[in-house]
Structure 1
Amino acid sequence: MSRLSLHRRLAFYGAAAILLALAAAAMGLTWLFGTHVERRAIAEMEVQLEQVLSGLTIAGGRLTADKLPMDPRYSRPYGGRYWQVQKGGETLRSRSLWDETLSIDGESAPSGDVRIYRQRGPGGTPVLGIERTVRLPATLRGGEAKLTVAMDASELTEARKAFALDLAPSLVLLAALLIGAQLAQQVYGLRPLKQIGRRVSDLRTGRASRMGADWPDEMRPLTNEIDALIEERAADIERARFRAGDLAHGLKTPLQALLGEANRLSEKGDEAAASAIESVADSMLTHVNRELARTRMAARQSGTQARANLAEVAGRVVAVVKRTPDGARLEWTVEAADDLVAVIDPADLAEAIGALAENAARYAEKAVRISARRAKSKLTIRVCDDGPGIPDEDLMRVLERGRRLDEGSVGEGLGLAIATDIAEAARGRLTLEPGKEGLCAVLELTAAGT
């Protein structure tokens, strides 16, 4: 399909249609004008034929014309108006014919009828004329006479041309007005298309949850289908949540049983075996949690977008991390305005901030600070510790899944990778940068209401 915009396409075809319609109208009006002028000319010639007929008389034993039409063009040679009377071998004609006659092709009309004809006249010019055969009274010596009145047809052609020239400026102005009105109508009529684009963008960024019903009738099938698709995706999310819960429940019992066996081994004094089993079980639990998080995020990506208040989520995460051995020994600070809202599911945000906070607590010496600020359409969350930090050349490498610079620490090295996946699923990103002391994890998300 052509990539020509709808606006340009409608403007082009609309202007072409207007111009074609006005051109057809111009030809039609010119034809109607010519037909009207021709009818008027024929009516005028019929009156003049009657004048010629009423002016016939007998003088000196010959048929003559006493009273003639008053139009001076009948008296001027080749003046464009002609009359002629033929009876037997006699021919009377107007002075304008000079020494020529009107020779009419074809059969004459029945007596009393008027025949209209077009042919060549004096000097080879085209003429429009009427012919009538009449029966003369006894005072005019009886018999039939053929009366003809004609005019130069080029006058009608010139009249049509003059009319067309007078009509052209008006049609040009009308075309300009119609095209302008069409363009204005397009701007107003196509406005819903721009609005639907903005609404879809709002759906993508989380500023809206549905297309709604406030659309023109022609666009409602599209918006209704979009809303139906969103509803289906929302149902898919719910099903994904249920499947994730079922999976977690199914794995929980075997892992608890395995940890119970580890405890019994520990009670029997087999600390090495118990520690190995606990390590494997913890590793399995970590990977299961990660896969559940990925399943949940993948489902959310194709559905409606939730919103999370940064201050509330960060406060809950800190309250939990403070209860851990690493978190209990540190001073925690949360700096986030109450009105900062991100386009992300609250559970996902809590998981991302929790992974970053746990990582910071593991390496901090005295304090961890969580701050958030908004810059236009972006929200930036910084989790900074006062630990030893990371060399600049290792900042990107540490974000790789399972990568740990401290191989002696516990864990699977998945915390930063999980936070990265959550950020990317929410159309954000996670970066690391050196802080004044230690390391800062910077989480960028889309601000709600932008």
Structure 2
Amino acid sequence: MRRSLRLRLLVIGAFAIVATLGLAALGLALLFERHVERVAVGDLEARALTLAGIVEYDAKGMPRLPAPPADRLYQQPFSGHYWQVALDGEVRRSRSLWDYTLPMDRPAPPPGRTEVLGLPGPQGEPLLAVEQSLLVGRGQDTRRLRILMATDRAALTAARRGFLGDLIPYLAFLGLLLVGGSWLQIRVGLSPLAEVAFRVQALTHGRRSRIGTDLPDEMLPLARQMDTLLDARDAELLRARHRAGDLAHGFKTPLQALLGDADTLRDRGQADIAASVEIVVTAMRRLVDRELARARIQSDHHTAQADPAAIVARLIRVLRRTPRGAGIVWDIRAPGPAPRARIDPDDLTEALGALLENAMQHAASRVDIVVAPQTDRVILTIRDDGPGVPAESLARLSQRGMRLDEGGEGQGIGLALVSDIMDAANGRMDVSNADPGLCVRLTLAAVPAGR
């Protein structure tokens, strides 16, 4: 989850939705419970006023409590519905209380007022009770009438549970809808990031040269900064190539002058010194030639493309005109459709030229070339039937970044140049003995179909 912005936002959004709906469920349950309690209290108050009508007066005008009214709701023992009336010391109770008396040890409420109480029931159950106090009688014979109406809270609890039972599935469905909407919002909101990733991938594959500015306003600063970095990189690479080329060209004139001095020394009879100078100058010229070749390697290989089969055919036509190449059997095979590689044509020509010339110089009579497409790659295999390379030298040739031209002309500098070109094109070079001969395999990225 740490590496997925979309999943992180979705989890946070889902947690917020679940927490909000949970709090909403608790709040609604509390509001429902209070509403039900208010309704129950109102019903008890109405029943209390009805019960106040049982007070009768005797011939002297004195209030008294007659037999309680018959009500099946209050006749069943422990039914959960109870009433109790007290007039002075006389107490009347509903039959549902059986032999239990509701506690009335607290002060009576002022006449005309109603108090909501919580009392224990005959079986210890919690009761919701309403107590009213009335004055009955006339003049000095006025007496206080206390009325208690109570109901079992279990009915209120059952109503709340039923409400939650109906509410929770609805909230769960609503939560799923909100999470789905959040996921859709995140997907649509983050789609520009996917577009930027797609364009970066297109840069890597050579389908675009820059990110572009046709993006949402929030993504434009990032896109412009990336394009600026790409422009700066290309400009710096171009300057570096020019500096390397200028430096290498600057060495060529002094080296040529040193060769002239070597000839002068030889004419004066100092052949040993002249030979030493020529060896040093030759080695330095090889280094200069290699740097010139490296300076010519194209850096913008993402947008470049070349036809390997056509380049091989063109190079072999040139090599066949040489005395050595005329006596070689050149076997070119290109199974399948002609592939195109993501590399600058001049760079590929430079690399293949060095490899084919090397194969021609060391072949006994034959050089085989295979150009084969493989999914998103192009494989070029060049094999000669010569003596190959000693095992210790072969291991050194296969190491990237090694100095391949320490042993002299020919294969060393050629393979060094090919290695540099493959590195610049994000390709790979593999060298192996073919018994007989040497096999060099180049792996390059293929140009996507339709480009």
TM-score category (smaller protein): 0.7 to 0.9
Q: Does 1:152 align with 2:149?
A: no
Matches within 5 A, 1:274-353: 277=277, 279-291=279-291, 293=293, 300=299, 305-311=302-308, 313-314=311-312, 340-353=339-352
Specify the alignment match of 2:235 in structure 1. Answer: 235
Query: In structure 2, do the counterparts of structure 1 residues 280 and 58 end up closer, same or farther at CA, with 3 Å as the change threshold?
Result: same
CA contact (8 A) 1:307 1:345 kept: yes
- Which shifted more, 438-447 or 96-105? 96-105
Deviations 1:317-339 (A, max 9, x none): 56776787756887878776996
Query: In structure 2, do the counterparts of structure 1 residues 79 and 391 end up closer, same or farther at CA, with 3 Å as the change threshold?
Result: closer
Q: What code does the residue aligned with 2:349 have?
A: A
Provide the aligned length of Structure 1 versus Structure 2: 443
- Listed as ranges, the gaps of 5+ residues in structure 2 are none
Supply the distance in 2 between the matched residues of 1:70 and 1:380 (Cα, whole angstroms): 105
Query: In structure 2, do the counterparts of structure 1 residues 130 and 181 end up closer, same or farther at CA, with 3 Å as the change threshold?
Result: same
Q: Does 1:447 align with 2:446?
A: yes
Query: In structure 2, do the counterparts of structure 1 residues 4 and 304 end up closer, same or farther at CA, with 3 Å as the change threshold?
Result: same
How far 1:214 moved relative to its partner?
A: 6.0
Query: In structure 2, do the counterparts of structure 1 residues 332 and 404 end up closer, same or farther at CA, with 3 Å as the change threshold?
Result: same
Report % sequence identity.
38
CA contact (8 A) 2:44 2:150 kept: yes
Supply the distance in 1 between the matched residues of 2:443 and 2:318 (Cα, whole angstroms): 23
How far 1:55 moved relative to its partner?
A: 4.6
Q: TM-score, normalised by structure 2?
A: 0.75
Q: What code does the residue aligned with 1:396 have?
A: L
Query: In structure 2, do the counterparts of structure 1 residues 28 and 130 end up closer, same or farther at CA, with 3 Å as the change threshold?
Result: same
Q: What code does the residue aligned with 1:113 have?
A: R
Supply the distance in 2 between the matched residues of 1:290 and 1:307 (Cα, whole angstroms): 22
Q: 2:394 aligns with which of 393, 396, 402?
A: 396
How far 1:356 moved relative to its partner?
A: 1.0
Matches within 5 A, 1:246-257: 246-257=246-257
Supply the distance in 2 between the matched residues of 1:373 and 1:412 (Cα, whole angstroms): 25
How far 1:234 moved relative to its partner?
A: 2.1
Query: In structure 2, do the counterparts of structure 1 residues 91 and 119 end up closer, same or farther at CA, with 3 Å as the change threshold?
Result: same
Deviations 1:40-95 (A, max 9, x none): 10111122222223453324655356898886323334332233343433444434
How far 1:184 moved relative to its partner?
A: 6.7
Q: TM-score, normalised by structure 1?
A: 0.76
Deviations 1:98-142 (A, max 9, x none): 454433465444332322222224443322122233344649964
How far 1:13 moved relative to its partner?
A: 5.0
How far 1:31 moved relative to its partner?
A: 1.8
Query: In structure 2, do the counterparts of structure 1 residues 97 and 433 end up closer, same or farther at CA, with 3 Å as the change threshold?
Result: closer
Specify the alignment match of 2:73 in structure 1. Answer: 73
Supply the distance in 1 between the matched residues of 2:140 and 2:68 (Cα, whole angstroms): 17
Deviations 1:15-49 (A, max 9, x none): 55444444333322322221111111011112222
Supply the distance in 2 between the matched residues of 1:267 and 1:259 (Cα, whole angstroms): 13
Supply the distance in 1 between the matched residues of 2:269 and 2:316 (Cα, whole angstroms): 37
How far 1:442 moved relative to its partner?
A: 2.4
Q: What code does the residue aligned with 2:287 have?
A: H
Q: Does 1:44 align with 2:16?
A: no
Any idea what SS the aligned residue of 2:112 has?
coil
Deviations 1:413-448 (A, max 9, x none): 321232133324433322345679965432221112
Any idea what SS the aligned residue of 2:412 has?
coil
CA contact (8 A) 1:380 1:444 kept: yes
Specify the alignment match of 2:126 in structure 1. Answer: 126
CA contact (8 A) 2:405 2:416 kept: no
Supply the distance in 2 between the matched residues of 1:404 and 1:196 (Cα, whole angstroms): 43
Matches within 5 A, 1:17-96: 17-59=16-58, 62-64=62-64, 72-96=72-96
Supply the distance in 1 between the matched residues of 2:123 and 2:338 (Cα, whole angstroms): 98
- Listed as ranges, the gaps of 5+ residues in structure 1 are none
Specify the alignment match of 1:430 in structure 2. Answer: 429
Any idea what SS the aligned residue of 2:386 has?
coil
CA contact (8 A) 1:108 1:115 kept: no
CA contact (8 A) 1:207 1:448 kept: no
Supply the distance in 2 between the matched residues of 1:392 and 1:70 (Cα, whole angstroms): 120
Supply the distance in 2 between the matched residues of 1:319 and 1:247 (Cα, whole angstroms): 34
**Aligned-residue CA RMSD (Å):** 4.6
Query: In structure 2, do the counterparts of structure 1 residues 271 and 317 end up closer, same or farther at CA, with 3 Å as the change threshold?
Result: farther
Query: In structure 2, do the counterparts of structure 1 residues 43 and 67 end up closer, same or farther at CA, with 3 Å as the change threshold?
Result: farther
Q: What code does the residue aligned with 2:302 have?
A: Q
Any idea what SS the aligned residue of 2:151 has?
strand
